[in-house]
Structure 1
Amino acid sequence: MKKIYSILFLFSFMACTDLDLEPKNGLVESVAFENFDGYKSYIAKVYASLTLTGQQGAAGQPDLTIINDEGFSSYLRVWWKAQELTTDEAIIAWNDSGIRDLHNHSWGADNQFVRVLYYRIFFTISLANDFIRAAENLPSGLTDTEIATIDEYIAEARFIRAFSYWHALDHFRNIALITSITSELPSQVEPQVIFDFIESELEDIDSELLPAGQANHAYGRLDQAAAWMLKAKLYLNSEVYTGTSRYADCITEVNKVINSGVYSLAPNYQELFMGDNHVRTDEIIWPIVHDGLVSQTWGGTTTIIRGGIGGAMSDDERSGAPFADEAEKTFGVPSGWAGYRTTSALVNLFPGAATDPDGNSPDGRGIFFTEGQSLEIADVGEFTDGWAVPKFNNIEASTGRRAPGVDQVSTDYPVFRLAEAYLMLAESELRESGAISATTLGYLNDLRIRAYGDNSGNVTLTDVDLDWILDERGRELYLEATRRTDLIRFARFSGGDYIWPWKGGVDVGMASPTHLDIFPIPSSDLIANPNLKQNDDY
């Protein structure tokens, strides 16, 4: 069993401008932080806020009380939806209020999924702020080792705050910078201010974080390589965020990861997304950890896995023959929720997949389920319209059996992988100098050799341009919460330069307004804080 979170504090949160967080379980601070265990429990809560939703199992005593279904408030769940359901990679059959607005590119300032993303981000920022404050004045009696460990926790809290601010910058752009617990209403700052804050924080904590490599410390904890990757992501998108390109700096950061000697590509692509992927520390740089027994959530990878299973995937038949407990045996969960599928735009990135009855391609990264599914989507509300994409599952690669859990899963979510470092390096070199190096070409072909099983899919220097990079990112990173950000960086998200099925709410797709490249500030926060101004054209 993976070591997972022990959670001490109970918080509720209503709005990003309501920043007075107080324990709701009767503990006073002098008791909560009288020894080392209090700080350990609190930093666990900061980590847990990235996927768990409350204090009582999968549901109960929620962190956020602004939505009826607590599972909707999972950080990973709402971030993933914002990054995937707005793109060509995923479309969903559910009809919850506002959810189809994401794929239709018709959301507004009252959309509940946009609102929850915003508040979840700032809830996590507030937790990190409060942990940093609580760790400023340590009680007497702590050992030198305990004090040193709390210093590491402070660096990790600062990373999580920077990570959340990166999401706030990426999704909402014009936001407030809040670095302490206060009841004063904050004001918005320019995106450059947020960018500079994230960059400065990551530079400051570099020497305080654990050494690179999940195998070198307690699994799931943040380390230097995670900070390098986050800085690289920040620099890769700098021109979008601030108008100034920083591709040379992105190259510097990803080369720290690549040249660290810690990472290598996992031999098998699918195993990176299975129920025992916690052993894939060769490639996974930092995961959001899940355990179906002791860290239960209706969000996180539970939603990603169960939300993508339906139709013949769980009808207890296989190719027309009886096959009991099909969903459990094949995907490691008791049943599916018949939610998201993909569009033909993603399928078409994989050579030959669209014309193969089973969706097979020489590029083995395309993991599709086609039985009973039509490639084209006539009815968004019908799960069998559109191919299913069970890239993530809850089966252990090492045993072939279901990973621990009953209704929830144990598959970790890989936030950063070495494969993406290779792709960021190639893109940054192209944007900086117009060509990639022979060394970088070798890294790209390493990805292709893993995908094809041999060198038949290898590319040459002349094959690799920016269009190819965007497509290769789709093939390698689909369903990994990168697609919206990627399409915006390549000017393919809004507008009419790239159309995919059901973009704009019509089956053939249509252009959408450019102001949708960022989400609106929720109306509820504008009402609560008159210092805030809505993003343009909302």
Structure 2
Amino acid sequence: MKNSKYNLITLICFLFLFISCTNDLNVTPEDDDVFTADEFYSQPGAYKQALAGVYGNLSLTGTGGAESSFLEGVDAGTSQYGRCLWYMQDLTADQIIWSYENDPGTRELQRNIWSADNPIILGMFSRTMVEVAIANEFLRQSSSEKLNSRGITDGVEVANINLYRNEVRVLRALAYYNLMDLYGKAPFITEDDPINFQGPEYNRQQLFDFIESEINAVLPNLKDPRTNEYGRLDKAVANMILAKMYLNAEVYIGQNRYVDCVTKCNDIINGGYTLNTNYLNNFKKDNDTSPELIFTLQSDAINTQNYGPTTVLCNGQVGSIESNGDDFGVGGWGGAIRLRKQFSLIFSDPIFDNDTRNTIISANRSIEITNIADKDQGFVFGKYSNISSTGVSGSNTTFVDTDFPLFRLADVYLMYAECAVRGASNATMTDAVTYVNLLRERANNGATNANITNADLNLDFIIDERARELYMESHRRQDLIRFGKYTGGSYNWVWKGNGSNGIALPTHLKVFPIPTASLASNPNLTQNTGY
């Protein structure tokens, strides 16, 4: 939370002292402090600090700095929430290649040959279940009975704690949403279950129903959009989770929920968020000031250093030939990320030459990647930056101050447009075209030369426009699955399925396997079909 820093590391460590979850989550607390819950929560401001710990788990990995991890047997580089999400959503799809295939788990992900022993797949599953565990513990410690036993009766304080509880329930729902999307199942555990409880396996339908009912239960009591302090969620974040869930409901539960998605999109659009007039300012050091960002993963180069997605993206996009780290306020990692041919081609039409979203650097490079180890092959890009919109460089050239845009308004506009094309009765093609053209005009500095008409708007347009607008923001795998382009062979990309020109993927790869270690720790879990 950039404008109100808390000691997130201390709080996450503290919360783990009260979650003995090594059996079901493969988590070992790293601190043997004997500070009790009652002692901690009797202090002024303790509940707000504990709330910061629940948020903090989305950015931090452990108590010992960027290299540390709470997770037993999983290091920080393969267990940071946002980085793992980016690996699994974007690296497994048609946008990027990671040059350093010795990095644990990356080779298998980008070649679509992963197994249940992949460390990144384990890291994401474990980190997300840790979020569930931390949320559950906060809810246990903030019940009305606990508040009364600790003499916390002041009306204002109790009301604030109840708000924190509602936010934590949404954060837990977000965790289960990720598990539902990525793995198709998860152990189900709430604050009503005892510590060390090995939760029953919930399938996608059960998780979908829980997330929907949980968010709807707390939604009226959350802060209105843009009225909470930066870094904390509001009604728009809750509606965004529901909107994403409804958009993908045919994949998750076999039901058409596009009308519900449009309803949630309208709620968000009417909530006061507006497009940033400069597209690239959404991805700079001071993007916490952007009116477009609905929810971000925090990044702070001094106080909360971590190898999260924006540190990886800012450093990784620096080209091996260009050595252009100074352009982004970082040292760079020597060409770690390059673009797959299929992504580069969606910007190949001359109409995108002046599109600000087109950050592709192609000079002195071939579009082809025939050898993944050759960092000079393939185009590179320059979307993220550790320099502010006013030209101020970040405080560190390795770790960045740039927050990761998990949800932003542009995605809402494109979700509405997609639902209109898919026939949602409460969406109009006129509004859909208007929303797309707002993005096109923003990308062209107000010019209308790239605007579209109703005749241009179809599903093929939408999937490509989503790629142009939202690349490197952890959406692509989910989008390709929804459009029927991920598995099978109707659409191939270079190195898909470990073929240099791409080969068909089997259907079971639409979900990731349950990690072997997680299966061993909870006998209620079963492996996904095909693994």
Q: Secondary structure at the match of 2:504?
A: coil
Q: Give distance in 2, aligned partners of 1:254 and 1:405.
A: 37
| 1:482 counterpart (475, 480, 484) | 475
Q: Give 1:242's aligned residue.
A: 253
Q: Give distance in 1, aligned partners of 2:88 and 2:155.
A: 43
| TM-score, length of structure 2 as denominator length | 0.92
Within-5 A mapping of 1:70-469: 70-95=76-101, 96-136=103-143, 137-138=146-147, 139-141=150-152, 143-180=154-191, 181-213=194-226, 216-260=227-271, 262-280=272-290, 282-314=291-323, 326-327=324-325, 329-352=326-349, 361-398=353-390, 400-433=391-424, 436-453=428-445, 454-469=447-462
- Please give the per-residue CA displacement for 1:200-259, whole angstroms capped at 9, x wherever unaligned: 11111112211101xx33111100111111110010011100111111000000000112
Indicate conservation of the 8 Å contact 1:88/1:500, yes or no.
Answer: yes
1:523 aligned to 2:516? yes
Long gaps (5+) in structure 1? 315-325
Percent identity for Structure 1 against Structure 2:
36
Q: Give distance in 1, aligned partners of 2:522 and 2:292.
A: 43
- Please give the per-residue CA displacement for 1:6-55, whole angstroms capped at 9, x wherever unaligned: 23241386564568989743211111111342212211111111121112
Q: Give the counterpart letter for 1:395 in structure 2.
A: I
Q: Give the counterpart letter for 1:334 in structure 2.
A: G
Long gaps (5+) in structure 2? none
Q: Give the counterpart letter for 1:294 in structure 2.
A: N
Q: Give distance in 2, aligned partners of 1:378 and 1:241.
A: 35
Q: Give the counterpart letter for 1:101 in structure 2.
A: E
Q: Secondary structure at the match of 1:285?
A: strand
- Please give the per-residue CA displacement for 1:441-467, whole angstroms capped at 9, x wherever unaligned: 111111111112311111111110111
Q: Give distance in 2, aligned partners of 1:22 and 1:209.
A: 34
Indicate conservation of the 8 Å contact 2:27/2:70, yes or no.
Answer: no
Structure 1 residue 440 displacement after superposition: 2.1
Q: Give 1:513's aligned residue.
A: 506
Indicate conservation of the 8 Å contact 2:173/2:214, yes or no.
Answer: yes
Moved more, 265-274 or 176-185: 176-185
Indicate conservation of the 8 Å contact 2:23/2:522, yes or no.
Answer: no
Indicate conservation of the 8 Å contact 1:500/1:509, yes or no.
Answer: yes
Q: Give distance in 1, aligned partners of 2:27 and 2:79.
A: 18
Q: Secondary structure at the match of 1:217?
A: coil
Moved more, 342-351 or 456-465: 342-351
Q: Secondary structure at the match of 1:189?
A: strand
Q: Give the counterpart letter for 2:49 in structure 1.
A: S
Q: Give the counterpart letter for 1:50 in structure 2.
A: L
Q: Secondary structure at the match of 1:455?
A: coil
Q: Give distance in 1, aligned partners of 2:423 and 2:160.
A: 40
Q: Give distance in 2, aligned partners of 1:201 and 1:404.
A: 40
Q: Secondary structure at the match of 1:341?
A: strand
C-alpha change, 1:362 and 1:497, in structure 2 (3 Å) is: same
| 1:39 counterpart (23, 36, 47) | 47
Indicate conservation of the 8 Å contact 1:175/1:188, yes or no.
Answer: yes
C-alpha change, 1:59 and 1:350, in structure 2 (3 Å) is: same
Structure 1 residue 97 displacement after superposition: 3.5
Q: Give distance in 1, aligned partners of 2:249 and 2:496.
A: 26
Q: Give distance in 1, aligned partners of 2:462 and 2:12.
A: 44
Indicate conservation of the 8 Å contact 2:251/2:482, yes or no.
Answer: yes
Q: How many residues align?
A: 514
Indicate conservation of the 8 Å contact 1:19/1:182, yes or no.
Answer: no
Q: Give distance in 2, aligned partners of 1:42 and 1:442.
A: 43
Q: Give 1:318's aligned residue.
A: none
Q: Give 1:6's aligned residue.
A: 7
Q: Give distance in 1, aligned partners of 2:461 and 2:173.
A: 31
C-alpha change, 1:503 and 1:340, in structure 2 (3 Å) is: same
Indicate conservation of the 8 Å contact 2:117/2:516, yes or no.
Answer: yes
1:504 aligned to 2:473? no
Structure 1 residue 336 displacement after superposition: 2.4
Q: Give the counterpart letter for 2:92 in structure 1.
A: T
C-alpha change, 1:444 and 1:75, in structure 2 (3 Å) is: same
Structure 1 residue 407 displacement after superposition: 2.6
Structure 1 residue 99 displacement after superposition: 1.2
Indicate conservation of the 8 Å contact 1:273/1:412, yes or no.
Answer: yes
Q: Give distance in 2, aligned partners of 1:135 and 1:372.
A: 59
Indicate conservation of the 8 Å contact 2:285/2:403, yes or no.
Answer: yes
Q: Give distance in 2, aligned partners of 1:244 and 1:141.
A: 45
Q: Give the counterpart letter for 1:167 in structure 2.
A: N
Q: Give distance in 1, aligned partners of 2:78 and 2:434.
A: 41
Indicate conservation of the 8 Å contact 2:24/2:198, yes or no.
Answer: no
Indicate conservation of the 8 Å contact 2:97/2:339, yes or no.
Answer: yes
Indicate conservation of the 8 Å contact 1:4/1:291, yes or no.
Answer: no
- Please give the per-residue CA displacement for 1:339-387, whole angstroms capped at 9, x wherever unaligned: 221111111111437xx9xxx7233211122344321102112222211
Q: Secondary structure at the match of 2:322?
A: helix
Q: Give distance in 1, aligned partners of 2:152 and 2:311.
A: 41
Q: Give the counterpart letter for 1:397 in structure 2.
A: S
Q: Secondary structure at the match of 1:496?
A: coil
